[in-house]
């Protein structure tokens, strides 16, 4: 059994977060959903990003780390969109405890976090080929950051253009077949780290 820290996107804890939490829990893992919004969710990216701008990324990262300290010991950090950056940040701040990092619809070059990738910690990036919020150059930079730390980050590119493609509450983005494959791949990755 692995301990998972699951970080939501700018939209908050929505159906896609719960779906992955369920898949990981059913596979026998212990999942802690880090709800930085205390139950608040957003339906539009504009509203969500306005909230992020009001709170500030530095405060969100500090809050993510604070929530993570409630989970002692080794963990796998999993995050969606800007939550992927939170997952990377927490793993980099607790490198002795990080076992893996999964970035869904995101991935931030470590230079933006002013931290190195945690030594030897593997990762995954999951995106659709037309994701408007994810750039190939940045994904490649994350892979290079990990390689410099002696780790491998796998990139999985799915057909389509949904950003949060496993969120069934987002009909313009939801891709059920790709969502199922995403869940399978994340569960398999986490299980390898036990």
Query: Contact, 162 vs 174, CB < 8 A?
Result: yes
Q: How many domains, the chain? A: 1
CATH number for the domain that contains residue 36: 3.40.50.1820
Question: Whose structure tokens read 């990377």?
Answer: 88
The reported pLDDT for the residue numbered 72 is: 85
Q: Report the predicted TM-score, pTM, of the whole model to 2 decimal places.
A: 0.96
Q: What range defines the domain where residue 16 resides?
A: 3-192
pLDDT tens figures, 144-155: 999 999 999 999
Give, as one character, the DSSP assignment of residue 110: G
Distance, CA of 192 to CA of 194 (rounded, Å): 6
The reported pLDDT for the residue numbered 106 is: 85
Sequence-ordered list of residues with C-beta below 8 angstroms from that of 171, at least 6 positions apart, any chain = none
């Amino acid at each position: 059994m692995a301990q998972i820290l699951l970080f939501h996107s700018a939209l908050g804890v929505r159906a896609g977060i719960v779906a992955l939490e369920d898949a990981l829990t059913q596979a026998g893992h212990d999942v802690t959903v880090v709800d930085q919004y205390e139950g608040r969710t957003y339906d539009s990216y504009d509203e969500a990003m306005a909230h992020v701008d009001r709170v500030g990324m530095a405060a969100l990262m500090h809050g993510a780390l604070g929530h993570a300290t409630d989970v002692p010991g080794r963990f796998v950090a999993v995050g969606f969109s800007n939550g992927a950056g939170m997952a990377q940040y927490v793993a980099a701040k607790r490198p002795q405890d990080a076992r893996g990092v999964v970035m869904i619809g995101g991935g931030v070059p470590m230079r933006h976090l002013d931290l190195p990738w945690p030594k030897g910690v593997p990762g995954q990036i999951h995106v659709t080929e037309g994701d408007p919020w994810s750039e190939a150059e940045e994904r490649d930079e994350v892979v290079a950051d990990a390689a410099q730390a002696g780790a491998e980050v796998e990139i999985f590119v799915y057909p389509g253009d949904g950003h949060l493609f496993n969120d069934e509450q987002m009909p313009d983005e939801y891709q059920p077949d790709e969502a199922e494959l995403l869940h399978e791949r994340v569960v398999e990755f986490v299980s390898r780290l036990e």
